Amino acid sequence: MSARVSVFPVRPAAEAEGASLRNVDALVERGLVAAEARAPLDAVARRYAVSLTPAVAALIDPSDPADPMARQFVPDAAELVTAPEELADPIGDAAHSPVEGVVHRYPDRALLKLVHACPVYCRFCFRREMVGPGGDALTGEKLDAAFAYLAARKEIWEVVMTGGDPLILSARRVREITARLAGLDHVKVTRWHTRVPMVQPERITADYARALLVPGKASYLAVHANHPREFTPAARAALARLADAGHVLISQSVLLKGVNADVATLSALMRAFVENRVKPYYLHHPDLAPGTGHFRLSLAEGQALVKSLRGHLSGLCQPTYILDIPGGAGKIPVGPAFLSGCETPGSGGVAEDRDGRLHAYPPA
């Protein structure tokens, strides 16, 4: 697949202002969708939420039918095709949800799903059957029950705030959450998962960045981005405010056909993260969410792409290629192997270097 890293000129800030585009009519009016495509896309929008922030809309090149930003955020008639293997809950959240709003799949960490809405809706979202503007935030008795569960499980060392996108919450609500997290003595690490710094960077003020800190805890923030074009000057400034406030920034990306599934784009994306003090963390193989087959490539193709990064890109830029096993069994690394022939204890092996040359390694 050819590289797609050419720079599309970002529109001036004044042109990126205004309301989010939340339906097909708005996309047609903006010139991001052809009028004749309205009927099938209306059917998509009736099933899956649509929203593009002004910052995202400004990054789309409407003259390019294969624009990688449009592919991420503009609905596509292909979303109406559901393959037999696709699942409404592809990673099995429900099977590991002891109380509403909590997913406790691994012993030492739990997800706290604070909201069901996002500022943008990714067309490949693994929670697309559960998120949207009509979803309720976790409040009142439901929030109390979620925190009671977290408080009672002393093995929980890390709490991950997710959704939806938890950074759509106001600074006041965020401070209420962080105050409650601060009271959980056994929790040592907190982590926020978000696209907001990239798609709505104006929300990340210095005050908001400080509000996300939990007193007495190590604070991590996982930033979701899939294409180097997302690193606009405004997004870079938002990331700097978060890093300067004291958050450790890590990345989350999804390997997507037509968006970043080539060496040049992946390399540029990972370098952009590192240049902005974001440590590449997970590169996800696309989940089996309904209507997302047009984004998926094979695991072998993904492994070959990730393998091409090793040795040709700084170690700081290497993500872990991850598969979330369908049904809820958890994440596993599925990156390529560079060592073979060492399966038997005491045996040596054959090591493959960055140029594909093989080297014998002696037995112990």
Q: Which two tokens stand for residue 112?
A: 């706290």
Residue 108 confidence (pLDDT): 98
Cis peptide before 164 (omega within 30 of 0): yes
Considering the domain architecture, whether residues 237 and 206 belong to the same structural domain is answered as: yes
Task: Give Dmax over CA atoms of the chain in angstroms.
Answer: 68
Sorted by sequence, the CB contacts under 8 Å of residue 298 that are 6+ apart come out as none
Whether 122 is catalytic is: yes
Whether 106 is catalytic is: yes
107: phi then psi, degrees, rounded to nearest 5: -55, -40
Whether 331 is catalytic is: yes
Identify the sign of the CA torsion 21, 46, 86, 191. Answer: positive
Whether 342 is catalytic is: no
Question: For residues 262 and 4, is the Cβ–Cβ distance under 8 A?
Answer: yes
CA-based nearest residue to 40, from 22, 28, 54: 28
Whether 109 is catalytic is: yes
Whether 67 is catalytic is: no
Considering the domain architecture, whether residues 289 and 356 belong to the same structural domain is answered as: no
Considering the domain architecture, whether residues 214 and 348 belong to the same structural domain is answered as: no
Please report, rounded to a whole number, the percentage of residues in the chain having pLDDT higher than 90: 90
Considering the domain architecture, whether residues 241 and 360 belong to the same structural domain is answered as: no
Query: Is residue 66, in this structure, part of any structural domain at all?
Result: no
Residue 220 confidence (pLDDT): 98
Structural domain span for residue 359? 338-364
Considering the domain architecture, whether residues 279 and 164 belong to the same structural domain is answered as: yes
Considering the domain architecture, whether residues 221 and 308 belong to the same structural domain is answered as: yes
Considering the domain architecture, whether residues 223 and 344 belong to the same structural domain is answered as: no
Considering the domain architecture, whether residues 193 and 164 belong to the same structural domain is answered as: yes
Whether 287 is catalytic is: yes
Residue 344 confidence (pLDDT): 85
Whether 105 is catalytic is: yes
Query: Is residue 57, in this structure, part of any structural domain at all?
Result: no
Considering the domain architecture, whether residues 343 and 292 belong to the same structural domain is answered as: no
Q: Identify the segments of the chain with pLDDT beneath 70.
A: 1-17
Residue 13 confidence (pLDDT): 42
Residue 329 confidence (pLDDT): 95
Considering the domain architecture, whether residues 252 and 361 belong to the same structural domain is answered as: no
Query: Is residue 141, in this structure, part of any structural domain at all?
Result: yes
Domain count along the chain? 2
Query: Is residue 150, in this structure, part of any structural domain at all?
Result: yes
Query: Is residue 118, in this structure, part of any structural domain at all?
Result: yes
As separate numbers, helices (DSSP H) first and strands (DSSP E) second, the chain gives: 11, 12
Considering the domain architecture, whether residues 349 and 227 belong to the same structural domain is answered as: no
Give the C-alpha distances (Å, rounded to integers) separating 213 from 29, 217, 219, 245, 274: 40, 8, 6, 8, 22
| Given 125, 149, 220, 296, the catalytic residue | 125
| Given 93, 113, 118, 195, the catalytic residue | 118
Say what the pTM is.
0.94
Query: Is residue 184, in this structure, part of any structural domain at all?
Result: yes
Exposure b/e, 1-39, CB count within 10 A at least 16 = b: eeebbeeeebbeeeebeeebbeebebbbeeebbeeebee
Residue 136 confidence (pLDDT): 79
| Given 191, 287, 296, 317, the catalytic residue | 287
Query: Is residue 78, in this structure, part of any structural domain at all?
Result: no
| Given 48, 76, 113, 122, the catalytic residue | 122
| Given 30, 47, 61, 106, the catalytic residue | 106
Considering the domain architecture, whether residues 216 and 272 belong to the same structural domain is answered as: yes
Query: Is residue 87, in this structure, part of any structural domain at all?
Result: no
The dihedral over CA atoms of 298, 266, 238, 57, expressed in degrees to the nearest 10, equals -70
Sorted by sequence, the CB contacts under 8 Å of residue 15 that are 6+ apart come out as 58
314: phi then psi, degrees, rounded to nearest 5: -50, 145
